[in-house]
Chain A
């Protein structure tokens, strides 16, 4: 109306946040750890979207990746092993106005936290869950995790892990009410940025599995894929992630996949010879539990007493 353009509103806060405003202490991850890049990417998204630090919460369980909240200058909750999701869901269910980010690892999420993971996916609360998948328990110095590769030598399996790894993405896709699953690699910041940005913009539970390098305890897992881009498969679609060519031109191995196709998403993520990166599945029509759990959060104590009295009056003789 009145010839106004899309960006007509000048309703901006009198505050501005730089990258530094989302940085807390200096990360104590090892040099060359993939976590550094993930942290910076999340901080850049916070800055680009000008998220209010006091309205942003990072929640984690236990593990190297779970130090994440310490390095973000936002609210943070470093939880118990495997318990990142119940804490995050608790926060979101009564404070839907907060931006919730969950940092969890392959051990934290897929082993001890697996029960919570299943239900967090089903609750489909509006948050970003980042799975730092380095195929190993790194904080406790190299034990096999659910995603360790067959033959990967660890302290629990010095002669090599005997079982095929669990696939966190196919598992997530198979859970009722799943609404967003994507994969990316930590050594491609351009792709990782678009993936996490899309996850943040998604309404619902966004599960992002990041193939994360641990040069100290599982270097062999991704070293080859890092030097040979043909071992990475770029998953593309008009409705998928739109990543600039500058970040993806090295990937010749590409696959077109419609992210609304759940069955195909399973097939794409189930590949074992390549690391598929991109948006596997998205469905914004699934119910979001925090929309139900937060009903009435603004009611005053007086409202609540009135409601109680109203109910009790029904039993008055």
Chain B
């Protein structure tokens, strides 16, 4: 088999992939009555979209690199996500690792958590209470394993301990379209809990009130403070008696604050379009239904709140100035009278209830004007717009996140539920930025392979590249824009290298690979008979590099694997390759924005190179002509000398022949001294690799000898100590002894067991019962085993 993607050249930098299980099918020749030109002719017509040539792709085909992922239920992804009440979001597997580390002697459970994890994953269809789901998955696994009595008891009691240690209110989120809003609202809601505005407002009011009641008392002391002030020459600040206008202002401020304190605002307002009406919101949130005008309703909700908070924040600023005796009427009156959201500081925006709008990308597009109003305003409203058409053939689609970036001042991302760590980071950064924020969330969840695989294929095939634009990161584009978490950002398409039947293969993952996963697009792929090779066939990633003219004569194909692991070539129809070109164009634009293969830089490099090349060429020419002149002059001199010497010889004179070229110019090259290669310094002392598995207990006061213990990893399972007292000494899960209950035996037995122990790993410590006979002698014997 020879094919343009079989590597027989030096590999370019790619990532390795295990292609185990794949093979080239036996070459059974062309279908009877078909010649290679027939096959290629049909393929050409298919590629061009001739409806008379129908696709023959079998439905079990997947892109070859995805063969091992054929059974999504067996893939450990980051889902289900665990949403902890503290706001933390983590993959279930990490949550298990953290929680199991706190439960002692839980080997049977910890070894089987992978089964519990799988059971949870299979059963979880929507957001649910973690303790309940994990508890019931655990008991199902327990039933399935049918362990022996002791192991079953351990599994269930430790399982119950694990369930109990799950914080109340922890929820699990599956990889479905609910994941994006659920995660975002969870993080935002947790953040609002750190808002202690009400407490500071109450404190401020009380301080104002006490100031209000203190001032008359000062006047009652008999000191005329206005006179005193005149004497001290102070006019604008300092302790002055409350004049009427100030008293009035303070009273009004207290009134405004108290009015605000009667409010029952939620910390979070979730505005939903009809598309998102069913989403569940955190308990503390208020849902606002927006019908078809999501963005307008979001603005309205925010502005209403902002108006009320403007009164509060104005009053708070007045109060602060008053308490500091720094209120200057002419200066501050005007400012505070016109105090509105445009005057809010970031800290004040942060203290306001949060407004989050949830809808679909279509909601955003239908409300473009209001969407743009939000994005260019200073309203820190968060928009979560869900998109589900990942592998669409619509090559005129609008990239909403990309469009949002053009507003320059907002925070904008393209995230995907298939990449939860990028999603979580983006939500958190969005909150921190205190700006209007747009998260477009790729959330396809109707695909037969599941949302996770489909979403990742869309990221991998550049159908839906992740991006993040955060103006808070700095002033330059490089600081603000990033493509992190996209695979192999330096390449047009991710390239994977693996081996099939001992042949190294380079396999790309393009938009076409992503498209062939979508059932209604499979009609655009035609399977070629196995073994067909021709210079008219080219792997799609190479084909896409051809110019339109060049590509007209060649056909693009990709490798797909069937359920048995046999790989086949699929010709890709033009409707798909057109979108491939469009997606590549979009990706290349994003790359440029992120500083990868930037055309300006490349242009500059090219120009610099040309300048340098010209300079070198000129210098080379100068040197060459100088060299030629020197050679010519030496040649003339040499022939003159030769003639002269010849004449001398002929005329009977002495003297040998001297090579003027050598004597005149041969330089001497000094021998290079043998250098000594410096020995790299040692990397310091070896660091101890592992601590002893058993920790020696501290002295708890049972004599100088401490508490009895066994260095269990050294136990050789000989039973000797159990023969002495089976209540004191028992085996752990590794069948190595430990002291279960030292008080169940005598000190004499403890010492006797230590003496009997062939591994000398029993340390009898001191006696527990001070009235046991012969203690002095026993302690002496025990001292050998400290």
Q: Say whether B715 faces chain A, with CB atoms less than 8 Å apart.
A: yes
Contact flags (1/0) for B433-460 with A, using CB distance below 8 Å? 0000000000000000000010011001
Chain A residue nearest in CB terms to B121: A10
Asked whether B74 lies within 8 Å of A19 as measured between CB atoms, the reply is: no
Chain B residue nearest in CB terms to A5: B76
- Which single member of A5, A16, A44 contacts B735 (CB below 8 Å)? A44
Chain A residue nearest in CB terms to B453: A2
Asked whether A31 lies within 8 Å of B693 as measured between CB atoms, the reply is: no
A43 to B714, CA, bound (A): 16
Contact flags (1/0) for B114-126 with A, using CB distance below 8 Å? 1101100100000
A15 to B111, CA, bound (A): 11
Given A16-B147, A226-B758, the answer on whether A36 and B118 have CB atoms closer than 8 Å is no
Given A1-B17, A40-B717, A189-B714, the answer on whether A15 and B691 have CB atoms closer than 8 Å is no
Chain B residue nearest in CB terms to A31: B720
Q: Say whether A18 faces chain B, with CB atoms less than 8 Å apart.
A: yes
Asked whether A10 lies within 8 Å of B76 as measured between CB atoms, the reply is: yes
Contact flags (1/0) for A33-55 with B, using CB distance below 8 Å? 11011011001100000100000
A311 to B356, CA, bound (A): 79
Asked whether B75 lies within 8 Å of A37 as measured between CB atoms, the reply is: no
Contact flags (1/0) for B410-434 with A, using CB distance below 8 Å? 0000000011000000000000000
Minimum C-beta distance from A295 to chain B (A): 18
Asked whether B720 lies within 8 Å of A246 as measured between CB atoms, the reply is: no
A7 to B77, CA, bound (A): 10
Given A12-B115, A20-B150, the answer on whether A186 and B716 have CB atoms closer than 8 Å is yes
Residues of B within 8 A of A18 (CB): 108, 147-148, 150-151, 733
A190 to B714, CA, bound (A): 6
Contact flags (1/0) for B73-103 with A, using CB distance below 8 Å? 1111100000000000000000000000000
Q: Say whether B372 faces chain A, with CB atoms less than 8 Å apart.
A: no
Which of A4, A9, A18, A21 is packed against the most chain B CB atoms within 10 Å? A18
Minimum C-beta distance from B183 to chain A (A): 17
Residues of B within 8 A of A188 (CB): 714
Asked whether A31 lies within 8 Å of B75 as measured between CB atoms, the reply is: no
Majority secondary structure of chain A interface residues (helix, strand, loop or mixed) = loop
Residues of B within 8 A of A11 (CB): 71, 74
A16 to B148, CA, bound (A): 10
Q: Say whether B719 faces chain A, with CB atoms less than 8 Å apart.
A: yes
Q: Say whether B478 faces chain A, with CB atoms less than 8 Å apart.
A: no
Asked whether B76 lies within 8 Å of A9 as measured between CB atoms, the reply is: yes
Chain B interface residue count, Cβ-Cβ cutoff 8 angstroms? 55
A39 to B150, CA, bound (A): 21
- Which single member of A8, A19, A20, A213 contacts B758 (CB below 8 Å)? A213
Residues of A within 8 A of B76 (CB): 4-5, 7-10
Q: Say whether B713 faces chain A, with CB atoms less than 8 Å apart.
A: yes
A267 to B81, CA, bound (A): 57
A188 to B715, CA, bound (A): 8
Q: Say whether A137 faces chain B, with CB atoms less than 8 Å apart.
A: no
Asked whether B690 lies within 8 Å of A10 as measured between CB atoms, the reply is: no
A198 to B718, CA, bound (A): 24
Given A226-B758, A246-B713, the answer on whether A20 and B718 have CB atoms closer than 8 Å is no
Q: Say whether A3 faces chain B, with CB atoms less than 8 Å apart.
A: yes
Residues of B within 8 A of A5 (CB): 76
A11 to B117, CA, bound (A): 12
Residues of B within 8 A of A4 (CB): 75-77
Asked whether A36 lies within 8 Å of B719 as measured between CB atoms, the reply is: yes
Minimum C-beta distance from B377 to chain A (A): 36
Contact flags (1/0) for A66-109 with B, using CB distance below 8 Å? 00000000000000000000000000000000000000000000
Residues of B within 8 A of A40 (CB): 716-717, 734-736
Q: Say whether A187 faces chain B, with CB atoms less than 8 Å apart.
A: yes
Residues of A within 8 A of B111 (CB): 16, 50
Q: Say whether B689 faces chain A, with CB atoms less than 8 Å apart.
A: yes
Residues of A within 8 A of B260 (CB): none
Chain B residue nearest in CB terms to A8: B76
Q: Say whether A14 faces chain B, with CB atoms less than 8 Å apart.
A: yes
- Which single member of B73, B457, B692, B716 contacts A37 (CB below 8 Å)? B716
In B126-150, the 8 Å CB interface with A consists of 144-145, 147-148, 150
Q: Say whether A273 faces chain B, with CB atoms less than 8 Å apart.
A: no
Q: Say whether A32 faces chain B, with CB atoms less than 8 Å apart.
A: yes
Asked whether B690 lies within 8 Å of A44 as measured between CB atoms, the reply is: no
Contact flags (1/0) for A240-259 with B, using CB distance below 8 Å? 00001111000000000000
Q: Say whether B759 faces chain A, with CB atoms less than 8 Å apart.
A: yes
Asked whether A16 lies within 8 Å of B145 as measured between CB atoms, the reply is: yes
Given A8-B75, A14-B144, the answer on whether A43 and B456 have CB atoms closer than 8 Å is no
Q: Say whether B112 faces chain A, with CB atoms less than 8 Å apart.
A: yes
Minimum C-beta distance from B76 to chain A (A): 5
Asked whether B716 lies within 8 Å of A187 as measured between CB atoms, the reply is: yes
Asked whether A20 lies within 8 Å of B118 as measured between CB atoms, the reply is: no
Given A246-B692, A246-B713, the answer on whether A16 and B112 have CB atoms closer than 8 Å is yes
Residues of A within 8 A of B694 (CB): 246
Q: Say whether B467 faces chain A, with CB atoms less than 8 Å apart.
A: no
- Which single member of A1, A10, A189 contacts B65 (CB below 8 Å)? A1
Residues of B within 8 A of A43 (CB): 735
Q: Say whether B496 faces chain A, with CB atoms less than 8 Å apart.
A: yes
A160 to B73, CA, bound (A): 67
Residues of A within 8 A of B144 (CB): 14
- Which single member of A1, A15, A32 contacts B718 (CB below 8 Å)? A32
Residues of A within 8 A of B716 (CB): 34, 36-37, 40, 186-187, 189
Asked whether A19 lies within 8 Å of B114 as measured between CB atoms, the reply is: no
A5 to B77, CA, bound (A): 9
Asked whether B713 lies within 8 Å of A36 as measured between CB atoms, the reply is: no
Question: Can you sample 21 A-B contacts with CB below 8 Å?
Answer: A2-B456, A4-B76, A5-B76, A7-B76, A8-B75, A10-B117, A12-B115, A14-B144, A16-B112, A16-B147, A18-B148, A18-B150, A21-B148, A39-B717, A40-B735, A189-B736, A213-B758, A226-B758, A246-B690, A246-B692, A246-B694
Given contacts A9-B74, A215-B758, 8 further A-B contacts (CB under 8 A): A1-B65, A16-B147, A16-B151, A31-B720, A39-B717, A40-B735, A189-B716, A245-B692
B-side residues, CB < 8 A to A, are 17, 65-66, 69, 71, 73-77, 108, 111-112, 114-115, 117-118, 121, 144-145, 147-148, 150-151, 418-419, 453, 456-457, 460, 485, 487, 496, 688-694, 713-720, 723, 733-736, 758-759
